[in-house]
Chains A and B, each alone.
Chain A
């Protein structure tokens, strides 16, 4: 699977981590995969955008090492939904971070005193993680830049990015994203909990997902589970499909699977979710899946 190449004839979306909360290297989750969130968008003009830096980021960037990243010539944009462990835990173990010449820009919103950079520095505090600190030191690896998102619209090469804060019950808000490149649109909405469980209440979600060719959406819970998990900060597969229906999306990828969700349960809910779809093609995101839009 060659994912490192930017594409001039569309956008390739590759799922490297689809699991929520904690990596699950366990048999019941082996088929859909146990790595925490990472999706690579290979866009035009060689632009590479990684959605989140979960454990899948470790293996995605190891794959990039066969190409420009191994020579210290890669340029990568990493967009963080937020800084919970499952969205950042792959970063210190990514081989491309230790190759000088690579450039990585991390986009996200402050969630720790002092901002995004301080938040990520906590992860590589030597008490927890005695790695050469590529965030602070110039000579140990990639050059890392931080972009605290304040303006909702910005550009990454030819890609127009819109980022808005998403509701999360009573928790810190998460960043949702919309990427537009060559008339193709990918929306990434994870770790979102809608007021009253209704995606229609979130103008941010509707705006980001509007007419997307692919909506990647949090589907951590089953509809019957969510009553007991108010304020856990996640959605159900049903809400994901409802947003896809309302926003007129072409495809909906159910994403950020609960660590306890088995492969067989995911097979079953895919069938149920497809039945609810009014327009979009709905599928369960699986590690290793590559889609050409």
Chain B
């Protein structure tokens, strides 16, 4: 399994010198395995992924998994050039949504007031599909599981499994101990639902080789912004410990976070991880990693 980070920044794209080293594009992660191909989230990073795909002979069928429809996770899609190729089919998945269907929201993003080409006029064949929560399904050569997370609205994380290798994408997520941010589940108390959302993180990361986690905040920042829907490294360490995961990637970096600050946080995180037998990495735009039975290696 190989993964490439095309966008690692949270909230909005940051084209400023302070974010140049780790990258300013909003979330997009490409996962490939023996010709199978899945893209997680469609932040601005997906624009350059699309160009790369077209220059290398784009697969005819592309699969996108969308964690949730906040701008930073969908805003790159109108600029995804394979969507303008008539022979390409794009399947866009989300967790089952009772209202605010993803298709409606993608269509709203491309309303003529905001963007010149309506979704319905894209030359490629775009279809929207939904995954039932908690039921693993075979999609594009991976077994894929999704669970809801504690983040405003309806958002979900993903677990991708293939040949005994497991990658989990747990982002955007707030700690499930203080405030319920997710749309409530009818008939379930707030407390019980928070507990369920906490356990969902562990279910997604259970025995994972690699967990991509929302480490937007430092603990001090979180204390002041508990309703924003993001976590800290410490939350990620706890989930990985409970789930018995091997590698954690710090991801969805705060737009204000300066490169030198992030480098220091990463050094601290690495040491904290070591003390619990976890390998901590920081997601950096443009980097590709190879995950094999024997371990994880960075590709040049």
Interface residues of chain A, those whose CB is within 8 Å of chain B, are 19, 21-27, 29-30, 33-35, 55, 58-59, 83-85, 88-90, 93, 111-112, 119, 122, 125-130, 171-172, 232-233, 259, 287
Identity of the chain B residue whose Cβ is nearest the Cβ of A169 in the assembled complex: B116
Q: Which of B20-28, B132-140, B232-240 touches A?
A: B20-28
Q: Can you name 15 extra interface pairs (CB under 8 A) apart from A23-B44, A128-B105, A233-B116?
A: A19-B15, A22-B75, A24-B15, A25-B13, A25-B19, A34-B15, A35-B16, A59-B16, A83-B113, A83-B114, A89-B71, A122-B111, A130-B153, A172-B112, A172-B113
* Assembly CA distance A29 to B16 (angstroms): 11
On chain B, the residues within 8 Å of A33 by CB distance are 15
On chain B, the residues within 8 Å of A126 by CB distance are 152-153
Q: List 7 A–B pairs whose Cβ atoms lie within 8 Å, in order of A's numbering.
A: A22-B75, A25-B15, A55-B15, A127-B153, A128-B71, A172-B112, A232-B116
* Assembly CA distance A122 to B104 (angstroms): 13
On chain A, the residues within 8 Å of B12 by CB distance are 23, 55, 58, 89-90, 93
Q: How far is the CB of B21 from chain A (nearest CB, A)?
A: 11
How would you classify the secondary structure of chain B's contact residues: helix, strand, loop or mixed?
loop
Q: At the interface, yes or no: B69 with Cβ under 8 Å from chain A? A: yes
On chain B, the residues within 8 Å of A127 by CB distance are 69, 100, 105, 153
Q: Is the CB of A35 within 8 A of B15?
A: yes
With A55-B12, A59-B16, A93-B12 as given contacts, are A130 and B113 in contact (CB-CB < 8 Å)?
no
Q: Is the CB of B15 within 8 A of A129?
A: no
Q: How many interface contacts (CB-CB < 8 Å) are there between A and B?
A: 99
With A22-B44, A25-B13, A130-B153 as given contacts, are A84 and B20 in contact (CB-CB < 8 Å)?
no
Q: Is the CB of A111 within 8 A of B113?
A: yes
Q: How far is the CB of B117 from chain A (nearest CB, A)?
A: 10
* Assembly CA distance A90 to B114 (angstroms): 14
Q: How far is the CB of B93 from chain A (nearest CB, A)?
A: 17
Q: Residues of B within 8 Å of A, CB-based: how many? A: 38
Identity of the chain B residue whose Cβ is nearest the Cβ of A112 in the assembled complex: B113
Q: At the interface, yes or no: B14 with Cβ under 8 Å from chain A? A: yes
Contact of A85 among B20, B70, B75 (CB under 8 A): B75
Q: How far is the CB of B281 from chain A (nearest CB, A)?
A: 21
Most central of A33, A58, A90, A128 by chain B CB within 10 Å: A128
With A112-B111, A130-B152 as given contacts, are A25 and B23 in contact (CB-CB < 8 Å)?
yes
Q: Is the CB of A23 within 8 A of B113?
A: no
* Assembly CA distance A58 to B100 (angstroms): 28
With A33-B15, A129-B70, A130-B153 as given contacts, are A171 and B116 in contact (CB-CB < 8 Å)?
yes
* Assembly CA distance A35 to B16 (angstroms): 8
Q: How far is the CB of A22 from chain B (nearest CB, A)?
A: 5
Q: At the interface, yes or no: B79 with Cβ under 8 Å from chain A? A: yes
Q: At the interface, yes or no: B48 with Cβ under 8 Å from chain A? A: yes
With A83-B114, A85-B115, A259-B47 as given contacts, are A25 and B25 in contact (CB-CB < 8 Å)?
yes
Q: How far is the CB of A55 from chain B (nearest CB, A)?
A: 6
Q: At the interface, yes or no: B108 with Cβ under 8 Å from chain A? A: yes
With A26-B48, A259-B47 as given contacts, are A55 and B13 in contact (CB-CB < 8 Å)?
yes
Most central of B19, B24, B74, B229 by chain A CB within 10 Å: B24
On chain A, the residues within 8 Å of B9 by CB distance are 25
On chain A, the residues within 8 Å of B255 by CB distance are 93
* Assembly CA distance A59 to B255 (angstroms): 11
Q: Can you list, as one digit per residue, whether each of B274-297 has a CB less than 8 Å from chain A (1) or not (0)? A: 000000000000000000000000
